[in-house]
Amino acid sequence: MNNKSRLSLLVVQILIVSLMVALFGRLFYLQVAAGPKYRDAALSIQSRDVVAPATRGLIVDGFGVPLAMNKAGLAITIDRIAIDKLEDKGVGVMKRLAALLKLKYKDIYQNTRLCGELPKGAKAGCWQGSRFQPIPITKSADPDIALQIVERSDSFPGVDAQPVAIRSYPSYLDVNAAHVLGYVGPLTESDLLQGNGNKYFRSETIGKTGLEIQYDSYLRGEPGIRTVIVDRKESVTRESQNTKPVAGDHLVTSLDVRLQASAEKALKDAVLRGRANGYTSDSGAAVVMDIKTGRILALASYPTYDPNAWERGLTVQQATDLFSEKKSVPALNRALQGLFAPASTFKVVSVVAAAAAGYNLNATYSCPSQVQVGTRAFQNFDSKNQGSMNMTKAIAVSCDTIWYQIAFDEWLRDGGLRPKSSPNDYFFKAAQSFKITQKVGIDLPTESTSRLADRAYKKSWYQQNKDFYCNYKERATKAQQTPFLLQLAAENCVDGDKVRAGDAVNFSIGQGDTVVTPLKLTQMYAAIGNGGTIWQALVAKAVVKTDGTVVQKFTPKKLGTLTAAPSTIKFLQKSLREVVVSGTGAGVFAGFPIEVSGKTGTGQVFGRNPNGTLKDDTSWFASFAPSKNPRYAVVMMVGQGGFGASTSGVGVRQIYSTLFGVTGNKVVPGAALFPQGKPPTLLPKISPATKPKEATK
């Protein structure tokens, strides 16, 4: 063999060995390095899970009355894969179905579109699940109609009817509680991708908001799963697992159906009263808290929605309304998501501040019609000169000018626009001692954090807005170029990061940039009522298995203590009682047989409504009772509701009437919701058949 041939042979040999090595390397990658990934992929090709959903646990009130339960329903479902294969993409089928079920074709069409398929802004009522799940059109179909559909399967290709368990909110005493309970719905793709760390199956239903999502892991139970291995023709070759469903655990809450229903009615009445008096009254919230534990006894938000609508089949109109500004966004839980200026209810903070700053709470102060703060005169409420008075009286009649003077003096003492390196900041510190910027910690999703307009807030606000104000002429619209606004912008550009005199003065009467949630204010008043303990708000009491064994108890948790002298707290309690005896709350509570302590608030709101009218005042009434040994805090807020007393104060009286069993000006014996003077501590027996005890009228 010549050398050339020998060399060529060697080259060929090397080439071929390299080819084999390449195969070997690729094989190693596929089987060893990426093996687990491919094993999962293979599993999803070969195996099919047949999921038998577990019965969802009940949600009950403190006496065991169901707020959420299950009932048998008949679902009519559409298989998107099947109807998409039809020539008309299922239009005919959906039209026939709409006629049969007496629904709108438009709704059925929208309900069967995946949310991802629809353009932004037109997603209302879309299907949040995947294409591979049968999409329910309704879950409470008439059996006769379901039978017609099944019998005429040739005119209804891809449509099926099957019995399902549906979530039902029984609404005893017309209770709604939608914002607390939430609702259930289909899994989304991100749930399936284990976005929240849980493993789900396509056909499962999960909690979407409220308690239903918060305690979903307990309520959901474990679905039964039969996994089968299939071949290419989808015929089953063998069964690889078969587990029975495990029913979900029940959730016992501290709510009381009767009180919740009463709070909802009182809130709605308050809103309507506000409207009758000529106010916009577009929203509201009411909270009842056990101030010795922080447990929530009732929590209402207005406007609300029907939590049963989802299982019945949400129409496009219903879905749009939920988030519609015109309908005041019923989906919003105002009690914990609504942020409003607390107005005069915030003066309890100013009392704590004044006491810390060394003001004598028992001395006499003057309440003039206005106070000169720098170049601006700040008016008393209604510009009234009330003369001299002690501070209890000042709280009772809700004098503003006392606080303007103290806040302005303290602001000057702290260095005014050139603050000292360590200012006293009595007002900010008093507010912080109520833990305003910390969440209430309620066991419900998406709580908003209340905001304190202190020095740190001003700095961060300035960072975000200085560009706008310092280039106001270029950035602002023509309509915004009025001389007043131009001057304001110039001021904001120069010292927008500083707490100005006006800010300090506004802060002392709960106006300006400080905003709180109704729930936060409830927590603050509860702390005053109980002597200074700030409790975390809690709805859940326990999780109980279907056989009655307790899985977990939720014990109240202290978030902190109010840093105020006991004498200051005593003073606050006395003053708040005086409000109801002789002050702004006296008229509303005239003749009420239970001693109530509270504070009215009428908060100014800037801006305009969508229809162009100026926004009306926020109506507040924050309270606790009985005054001698307080046990409950009740707070009501009506957005654009007008005066604190006449709109919300009356509502709060209504709630106390139910709570203490008051009719007219008399306590009806045996009518109090909690005969022992406190909410039940023992866990109730749980049965879907439990009905609420009718409060004696």
- 44: which residues sit within 8 A by CB, 6+ positions away? none
Binding mask 1-20 for other proteins (x = CB under 8 A): xx-xxx-xx-xxx--xx-xx
Q: Which is nearer to other proteins, 29 or 323 (CB)?
A: 29
Q: Which is nearer to other proteins, 44 or 375 (CB)?
A: 44
Helix extents (H) in 630-681: 650-660
Binding residue for other proteins (CB under 8 A) from 87, 235, 549, 610? 235
Q: Which is nearer to other proteins, 31 or 364 (CB)?
A: 31
Helix then strand count (H, E) for the chain reads 25, 25
Q: Is 232 in the site for other proteins (CB under 8 A)?
A: yes
Smallest distance from other proteins to CB 32, Å = 5
Interacting span for other proteins (CB under 8 A) from 23-31, 152-160, 302-310, 584-592: 23-31
Cα distances (Å, whole numbers) of residue 245 to 3, 50, 72, 113, 333: 77, 12, 17, 30, 34
Q: Which is nearer to other proteins, 19 or 490 (CB)?
A: 19
Q: Is 227 in the site for other proteins (CB under 8 A)?
A: no
Smallest distance from other proteins to CB 9, Å = 5
Tell me the CA end-to-end span of the chain in Å, nearest whole number. 117
Q: Is 28 in the site for other proteins (CB under 8 A)?
A: yes
Smallest distance from other proteins to CB 14, Å = 10
Q: Which is nearer to other proteins, 232 or 478 (CB)?
A: 232
Binding residue for other proteins (CB under 8 A) from 87, 144, 231, 694? 231
Cα distances (Å, whole numbers) of residue 296 to 419, 541, 639, 651, 678: 42, 10, 22, 18, 13
Smallest distance from other proteins to CB 50, Å = 17
Q: Which is nearer to other proteins, 39 or 420 (CB)?
A: 39
423/410 Cα distance (integer angstroms): 10
Q: Is 23 in the site for other proteins (CB under 8 A)?
A: yes
Q: Which is nearer to other proteins, 6 or 693 (CB)?
A: 6
Q: Which is nearer to other proteins, 33 or 551 (CB)?
A: 33
Binding residue for other proteins (CB under 8 A) from 50, 230, 412, 667? 230
- 499: which residues sit within 8 A by CB, 6+ positions away? 411, 419, 453, 454, 455, 458
Sheet strands (E) in 315-423: 364-367, 370-373, 376-379, 387-390
692/64 Cα distance (integer angstroms): 8
Q: Which is nearer to other proteins, 32 or 479 (CB)?
A: 32
Q: What angle do CA 73, 75, 77 make, to 5 degrees?
A: 170
Site residue total, other proteins (CB under 8 A): 40
Of 281, 279, 321, nearest to 304 (Cα)?
321
Q: Is 26 in the site for other proteins (CB under 8 A)?
A: yes
Q: Is 27 in the site for other proteins (CB under 8 A)?
A: yes
- 3-class secondary-structure state, position 208: coil
Binding residues for other proteins restricted to 31-70, rule: CB under 8 A: 31-32, 34-39, 41-43, 45-46
Q: Is 237 in the site for other proteins (CB under 8 A)?
A: yes
Number of residues in the chain = 697
Asked if residue 347 lies in contact with residue 601, where contact means CB atoms within 8 angstroms, the answer is no
- 523: which residues sit within 8 A by CB, 6+ positions away? 289, 294, 435, 440, 534, 535, 537
Instruction: Name the site residues for other proteins (rule: CB under 8 A).
Output: 1-2, 4-6, 8-9, 11-13, 16-17, 19-20, 22-24, 26-28, 30-32, 34-39, 41-43, 45-46, 229-232, 235, 237
